[in-house]
Amino acid sequence: MGRVTERRRVLRVRGEAASHRADTLVAEEPLEIRLGGRALAITMRTPGDDFALATGFLVSEGVVATADEVASVVYCAGAQADGSNTYNIVDVRLAPGVPVPDITLERNVYTTSSCGLCGKASLDAVRTATRMPTPDPHNPRITPELLSTLPDRLRAAQTVFDRTGGLHAAALFT
């Protein structure tokens, strides 16, 4: 099952009847995101698409806007004292010429697996600067008919949810 899920003994309660049984649960582990070798943020996540998560975080923070601004994303070796790798630390290297933001002790980014509003210190912080163009709400680029099909398409791709009954999902459709 890999690190995405794990089997655990759980207590199942149905009315007044209780029983123990094995269940498949979604795994959750911390991920440290480094930028150019320096710690930037730690978030909790289900292991799997760590490189996409780290890159998406940098997009949401306005550090990068396009894929060609990222030179590489790699797991950091030697994360444990014995030198073994936990696969819980990634380092993102920016492409030549892409400015690296000032990462100081004052820049401690709190991340969650929420929508992004929780943990913000102020409403101004919610309006995070992005380098992505904001769509014109008066000129939608997607038809209502297509939009209504997307939840079912997303659900069809959620195999881990089928096994566990609990996992957040996000999708990018073109």
Domain with 38, as residue range(s), is 20-133
Q: What is the pLDDT of residues 13-57, one digit of tens each?
A: 888 889 999 999 888 889 999 999 999 999 888 888 899 999 989
In a domain, 38, yes or no: yes
- Count the domains in the chain: 1
In a domain, 10, yes or no: no
In a domain, 156, yes or no: no
Residue 82 has pLDDT above 50, yes or no: yes
Alpha helix locations (H) across 26-169? 50-60, 123-126, 144-156, 159-164
Contact of 66 with 44, CB cutoff 8 Å: no
In a domain, 33, yes or no: yes
User: φ and ψ at 7, to 5 degrees?
Assistant: -90, 135
Distance of CA 152 to the CA centre of its chain: 21
pLDDT level of residue 1 (50, 70, 90 thresholds): very low
Please report which helix (H) or strand (E) contains residue 9, including its range.
Answer: strand 5-14
Residue 129 has pLDDT above 70, yes or no: no
Comparing C-alpha atoms, which of 47, 72, 46 is closest to residue 58?
A: 72
Using the structure block, give the residue that is written with the tokens 């912080």. Answer: 125
Task: Please tell me the pTM assigned to this model.
Answer: 0.68
118 labelled catalytic: no
- 23 torsion bin: left (phi>0), alpha (psi -120 to 50), beta (else): beta
- CATH number of the domain residue 108 falls in: 3.10.20.10
Residue 168 has pLDDT above 50, yes or no: yes
In a domain, 27, yes or no: yes
In a domain, 150, yes or no: no
In a domain, 174, yes or no: no
**Given the residues 17, 115, 121, 123, the one annotated as active site:** 115
pLDDT level of residue 147 (50, 70, 90 thresholds): confident
Q: Which residues pair with 131 in a beta bridge?
A: none
In a domain, 56, yes or no: yes
Comparing C-alpha atoms, which of 103, 81, 130, 105 is closest to residue 36?
A: 103
